[in-house]
Amino acid sequence: MLNIKLQGLDKDGNEKEYSINDFSGQKTILYFYPKDNTSGCTQEACDFRDNFNRLTPHTNLVGVSPDSIKSHKNFKEKQGINFILLSDPEHKLAEAFEVWKEKSMYGRKYMGIERSTFVLDEKGKIEKEWRKVKVKGHVEEVLSYLVD
């Protein structure tokens, strides 16, 4: 199991330090997204938020981006996010899950998060993964996997 510690905000917006090990004992949806308050990331977070009650009887729900705690706090308040957000500014967790990748936009190359979701089993091992996620319909895919 990974013992990477990250600062995050709990469901109520309180700052706390987390390790992936903290979520053992129950399945965990761990999703990586590029940036708070951008259109695709906001849609994805709101889709998870709106399905929170359908997801959480089965799992923990955790979002991760390189954004700061301050950015996460604003994002949670503005969008009513009701699950844990972790701040990974040094990309430690993103690199461990191999989602910190070279990307390209308008011919310019840069490093960033490849939108990805993982279901971790009760022992913290990857049970299912979705990489290069398209936001539309993604939460339904995750629900379908967990509930069916």
Residue with the two structure tokens 């090990």: 21
The amino acid that residue 92 corresponds to is: K
Q: Which of 30, 41, 45, 119 is catalytic?
A: 41
41 flagged as catalytic: yes
Q: What residues contact 78, with CB distance under 8 A and at least 6 apart?
A: 37
Rg (CA), the chain: 14
Measured between alpha carbons, how far is 97 from 120 in angstroms, rounded to an integer?
Answer: 12
CB atoms closer than 10 angstroms to residue 51: 15
> What does the alpha-carbon distance between residue 14 and residue 27 come to, in Å, rounded to a whole number?
22
Q: Are 93 and 6 in contact (CB under 8 A)?
A: yes
Catalytic residues: 41
